[in-house]
Amino acid sequence: MRLCMISLDAVAQPDAPRLLALPALGALRDRGVFCDQVKTVYPTLTYPIHASLLTGCYPAVHGIGHNQPFQPDTDPAMRTWYWSARDIRVKTLHQAAREKGMDVASILWPASGKNRAVRRNFPEVLPLPGENAVFKMLRYASPLWILRMEALYGKQRKSVHQPDLDDYAALLCEKLYASRRPPHVLTVHLVDCDAMRHQYGTDSPQAHAAMERLDARVGRIVEAVRRAGLMEETLFCVVSDHGQQDAPRGVPLDRLLREACGARAQSLGMGAYIFGEDLTAAWRALTQNKQEWGISRILGAEEIRALRGPDHVRLAVDAMPGCCFIDKPGETRGEHGFSLDCPQARTLLWLAGPGIRQNETLAEADLVDIAPTLARALGLSLPQAEGQAIMQAFE
């Protein structure tokens, strides 16, 4: 059994009708299992969710509670991210597959840099101002393979920005399946729609065009598997992490809190973590300025624990609809980081391949159930997973 796992960043339940009307994703639904009511994890950020997709654990257990470590006094443009696989505290599907002797490849997957379990790795790593993009990628990726791909196909990549980067990711997937050793496990993260929604808004023509491009890339990858003669032994898993909402009002919560009581805020977009020595004073300031600061809900330690959020966070807030929390002035459009009761926190799952039911719709699922489901199909072990295999997906 082989696995091809494709993550579609920033699409969710409200997007399902549009996506299912497209040729590649519509065909996957017809020949497999589909669910548009997958409950994602808190916080609704890309890196925590993708760690959950690989581990079957919540952020409280796998340790990735944000896209970035908390760096309150660092310029936002210079803040590091959780780029390394070693930041994940529990076993991943990559590691379990490698232990089983499987060949693992990964393209643009978050928190996957310097991953010894991945033989051919093009991780999501962003150069900070002043850093050399090539040298940084070589530090985190599979350097010899990356250099070979760059020599052979680098000229076909128009830029390192979206949608060009996703086009290059799809090309690398095609070349992996056309190679002498096609991967047993491939994970690929497609970011086009997330970039378009952040920049232009959630219901913009650019976002709609990005969904069509995502479908075309999924079609390219499926066709590459077909050309390699591997369709009968490949399980396709297409997932999403979160949707987005328009949030045109940006509130500088960190500055406001710092001035009011000395506490600090780490933005989630449409939410924030609150840190400080005196969280009682922070709670009071948040309560007194709730409306003015665009806060819809204040979450204490017990509520965060109930959400299985990061274990170091004891105070957090959700933003009002249309609001987001910003670190520097600027125009805001599409955002996420919202609470789990939003429709955009219900994400998508397609499963198709050997042993999977056909033309079946699941009423609901939890995102942490996806990794255990894939592990069961591949005969792998994830002993620390908190989710459970979705048994109704299997024949």
- The CATH number for 14's domain is 3.40.720.10
- Of 332, 349, 382, the residue that ends a domain is 332
Residue 370 has pLDDT above 90, yes or no: yes
Q: Is the domain of 202 the same as that of 288?
A: no
Residue-level pLDDT at 329: 86
Residue 308 has pLDDT above 90, yes or no: yes
Q: Is the domain of 224 the same as that of 285?
A: no
Q: Alpha-carbon Rg of the chain, whole angstroms?
A: 20
Residue 289 has pLDDT above 90, yes or no: yes
Residues 6+ apart with CB under 8 A from 284: 261
Task: Quote the CA–CA distance of 375 and 58 in Å, as a whole number.
Answer: 17
User: How many independent structural domains does the chain possess?
Assistant: 2
Residue-level pLDDT at 339: 95
Q: Encoding tokens for residue 20?
A: 């299912």
Q: Is the domain of 255 the same as that of 240?
A: no
Share of the chain above pLDDT 70, in %: 100
Residue 116 has pLDDT above 90, yes or no: yes
Q: Is the domain of 139 the same as that of 220?
A: yes
Residue-level pLDDT at 331: 86
Q: Is the domain of 239 the same as that of 292?
A: no
Q: Is the domain of 129 the same as that of 173?
A: yes
Q: What mean pLDDT is predicted for residues 163-190?
A: 98
Contact 122/141 with Cβ under 8 angstroms? yes
Q: Is the domain of 33 the same as that of 115?
A: yes
Task: Quote the CA–CA distance of 323 and 246 in Å, as a whole number.
Answer: 8
Average pLDDT for the chain:
97
Q: Is the domain of 59 the same as that of 135?
A: yes
Q: Could you report the per-residue pLDDT of 33-53, keeping only the tens digit for each?
A: 999 999 999 999 999 999 999
Q: What mean pLDDT is predicted for residues 161-183?
A: 98
Residue-level pLDDT at 372: 98
Q: What mean pLDDT is predicted for residues 370-392?
A: 98
Sheet with 264-267, edge to edge strand ranges: 264-267, 271-275, 315-319, 295-300
Q: Is the domain of 46 the same as that of 156?
A: yes
Q: Encoding tokens for residue 321?
A: 């609809």
- Of 281, 311, 332, the residue that ends a domain is 332
Residue 328 has pLDDT above 90, yes or no: no
Q: What mean pLDDT is predicted for residues 121-146?
A: 95
Q: Is the domain of 21 the same as that of 122?
A: yes
**In what helix (H) or strand (E) does residue 377 lie, and over which residues does it extend?**
helix 370-378
Q: Encoding tokens for residue 230?
A: 């591997």
The DSSP bridge partners found for residue 265 are 274
Which band of pLDDT confidence, cut at 50, 70 and 90, is reported for residue 330?
A: confident
Q: Could you report the per-residue pLDDT of 223-244, keeping only the tens digit for each?
A: 999 999 999 999 999 999 999 9
Residue 250 has φ and ψ, to the nearest 5°, of -100, 125
Omega before 183 cis (within 30°)?
no
Q: What mean pLDDT is predicted for residues 95-122?
A: 98
Q: Is the domain of 198 the same as that of 95?
A: yes
Residue range of the domain that includes 221: 2-244+340-393
- Of 308, 332, 356, the residue that ends a domain is 332
Q: Is the domain of 215 the same as that of 236?
A: yes
